[in-house]
């Protein structure tokens, strides 16, 4: 009620509401035009039937029916022109309303971006990224210092380590030699010559490997 009162006295109306009302009014008018068009077409068909029925027996009546048909066709043609104009207005209003909604959404999005960015600028971004890089480098240096400080302050004799490793290798070699010397010399009764040859070959290979190991340790 208040909206109609303000509209009557030239008050400002909501463009969105005004557009919707105009579209509804135009569509209602289009429905009326469609009904009237159906009526005129039906009338044209009836006049055509009358003209055909009297074409031979009553030419005057036939001619009058054709005149009414022509007049109705002209009225229908004008009605179709009006319908076309109304449809164009509906399409224009719908497009304008859609564009207005789109622009409104884009304006809100722009405002949201502005709020998000605030005082943020490229200088602040570069400064922040430089700080991040600096702190990352510092963290890596601290991690490296912590990981390498385990043996800091310890005196390690490299020659002593080498000698200890050589002793371990010699002990391992002695254990292997002792194990080879305690291998039973007798064999099970009845081995074939092929088995005997294989045993001698295996012993010879093991002895050769031990000699190679001794020679390597002696270097």
- Residue 13: what are its φ and ψ, rounded to 5°? -110, 160
How many residues are there in the chain?
219
Three-state DSSP string of the chain: CHHHHHHHCCCCCCHHHHHHHHHHHHHHHHHHHHHHHHHHHHHHHHHHHHHHHHCCCCHHHHHHHHHHHHHHHHHHHHHHHHHHHHHHHHHHHHHHHHHHHHHHHHHHHHHHHHHHHCCCCHHHHHHHHHHHHHHHHHHHHHHHHHHHCCCCCCCCCHHHHHHHHHHHHHHHHHHHHHHHHCCCCCCCCCCCHHHHHHHHHHHHHHHHHHHHHHHHHHC
Cα distance between residue 13 and residue 1, in whole Å = 13
d(C-alpha 131, C-alpha 128), whole Å: 5
The pLDDT assigned to 215 comes to: 65
Give mean pLDDT, residues 178-187. 63
Under a CB-based contact definition with an 8 Å cutoff, are residues 93 and 26 in contact?
A: yes
Q: How far apart, in Å, do the first and last CA atoms of the chain sit?
A: 112
Domains of the chain: 2-117 (1.10.287.1060)
For residue 80, the model assigns a pLDDT of: 94
Per-chain mean pLDDT for the chain: 79
Higher pLDDT, 166 or 191: 166
Q: What is the mean pLDDT of residues 130-157?
A: 77
The pLDDT-based confidence of 161 (bands split at 50, 70, 90) is confident
194 has pLDDT over 60: no
103-126 residue pLDDT tens: 889 999 988 888 887 777 777 778
State the Cα–Cα distance between residues 129 and 182, nearest whole angstrom. 73
């Amino acid at each position: 009620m208040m909206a109609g009162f303000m509209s009557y006295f030239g008050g400002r109306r909501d463009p969105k509401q005004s557009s919707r009302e105009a579209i509804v009014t135009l569509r209602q008018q289009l429905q009326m035009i469609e009904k009237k068009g159906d009526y005129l077409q039906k009338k044209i068909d009836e006049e055509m039937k009358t003209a055909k029925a009297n074409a031979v027996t009553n030419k005057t009546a036939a001619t009058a029916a054709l005149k009414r048909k022509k007049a109705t066709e002209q009225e229908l043609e004008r009605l179709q022109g009006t319908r076309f104009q109304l449809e164009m207005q509906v399409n224009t209003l719908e497009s304008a309303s859609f564009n207005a909604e789109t622009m409104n959404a884009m304006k809100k999005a722009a405002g949201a971006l502005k709020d998000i960015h605030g005082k943020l600028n490229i200088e602040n971004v570069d400064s922040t990224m430089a700080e991040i890089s600096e702190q990352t480098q510092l963290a890596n240096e601290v991690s490296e210092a912590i990981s390498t400080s385990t043996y800091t302050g310890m005196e390690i004799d490299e020659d002593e380590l080498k000698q200890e490793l050589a002793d371990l290798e010699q002990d391992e070699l002695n254990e292997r030699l002792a194990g080879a010397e305690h291998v039973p010399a007798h064999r099970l009764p009845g081995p074939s010559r092929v088995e005997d040859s294989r045993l001698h070959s295996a012993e010879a290979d093991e002895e050769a490997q031990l000699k190679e190991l001794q020679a390597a340790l002696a270097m």
